[in-house]
Structures are given as structure tokens and as C-alpha cells.
Amino acid sequence: DAGITQSPRYKITETGRQVTLMCHQTWSHSYMFWYRQDLGHGLRLIYYSAAADITDKGEVPDGYVVSRSKTENFPLTLESATRSQTSVYFCASSVAPGQGNTEAFFGQGTRLTVV
Amino acid sequence: AQSVAQPEDQVNVAEGNPLTVKCTYSVSGNPYLFWYVQYPNRGLQFLLKYITGDNLVKGSYGFEAEFNKSQTSFHLKKPSALVSDSALYFCAVRGSGNTGKLIFGQGTTLQVKP
């Protein structure tokens, strides 16, 4: 199916475990983003990527790792999960600025609980 | 630094009345500005954007937004609110430069009462 999909939709993990959230888009958008949504903080940018093999930190990158070996995939890894990383995570994709419709399209989100 | 401010956590309006949700931004160069809406337990839906041109942009569901460069603002408006407009609204800014980073505000909850 065309679009942007995140998996899993729900995840419960224990403190200290490594967990990876997946994001896949079918539009061949060059840009991809990861956000976390917490009450009172809105959407905060964790990492973003301008193209395959190009990633950069956002507002809250600590404790997270990303990779982008293929244009369509942008996994987010929590190397050692902490309770403060309990959140709803959103992935998004878009074309580059100036290349037409620059709005980002969002996945349905992954609700992660760290116990 | 690139940033977005939504000064109101919540906006309350009666059905049929006009509504305004405020947004101010800071970015280097010319901004790309966006509004998104989020309904409970859903992802974000794109409403409208300003790239260039006319300062008043129209979007989905009867919403519009006015870009004001001197005040660095991009307020969301609707002439007549509906109860179904009740949701969480996010303003976002993207620089036109090479970084392409997309930054969101904290969100404003719109409550429309019958």
C-alpha cells in the first residue's frame, strides 16, 4: 500500500532493553523525520534525514540512534530504554524544500511504554 | 535558531463564531509554514501551508491562515466554527535553506461548544 507506515503500533518494553521502531514510506521522499509527542511538549524532533546515509540531530536526540541505508526506511532505535522515553512516536516524510509540495506526511504513530 | 510558538494552550469558542489560533515563528531565510490537525488517537493531518505569494492561504475544512512577515506570525482562522473542529492544532515551520528541518509548536487545543 502507498503511504507511510510505522511498526509496531504499540510496544511495551523494559528499562534497559534495546527497541527499534520502524518507518517505511513508498513515495521515495528524500526527507524523513522522527518526532515524539508528549503532553505539554507538543511534537519534538528527534532526528531527521535529508537522504539515504544523511542524518542529523533534532531537538531531543539523546538516547536515540537512527540509520538510513535505503531511502524508504528510517528506523529509530532506543539503545537502552528509559521510562522518560515512554511516549508516542511519529514518523514523517516529505520532499526537499523548494521541490513542490513540501508538507510532511505522517504515519499513524507508535505508542511506546517503558516499564 | 528555528522555533515556533503557540501562545495559547487552549482556545474556547462557541459554535458559529469565528476562531483564531495563534502562531509565531523564527527561522532563517524565507519560511515554509504549515498547520496540522490531530484528532484523538490519530496521526497528524495536513491543513494548509504558506510557501510564497498571497498572504492569505486557504486550506481544508474551511480553514485559512494569514502570513504576516513583519510580525512573523501565521495565525489559523475560520469564519464559523463547528463542534467537529474540536481537536489539537499544530503550527510548524520549515526553513527554505538546505537543512529542511521541520519544527512544530506545542499545539493548541481548540474546544468548540454547541
- Whether B104 sits inside 8 A of A42 (CB atoms) is yes
B5/A contact by beta carbon, under 8 A: no
pLDDT tens for chain A, 115 residues long, are 669 999 999 999 999 999 999 999 999 999 999 999 998 788 999 999 999 999 999 999 999 999 999 999 999 999 999 999 999 999 999 998 877 778 999 999 999 999 9
- Whether B104 sits inside 8 A of A45 (CB atoms) is yes
Cβ of B79: how many Cβ atoms within 10 Å?
A: 11
Q: Max Cα separation, chain B?
A: 46
Closest by Cβ to A107, choosing from B34, B43, B45: B43
Reduce the DSSP state of residue A60 to 3 states and report it: coil
Each residue's pLDDT tens digit, B55-81: 999 999 999 999 999 999 999 999 999
B89/A contact by beta carbon, under 8 A: no
Long-range CB pairs of B53-57 (<8 Å, 24+ gap) are none
Contacts with A58 from chain B: Cβ below 8 Å: 101
Contacts with B96 from chain A: Cβ below 8 Å: 97-98
Start-to-end CA distance of chain A, whole Å, equals 33
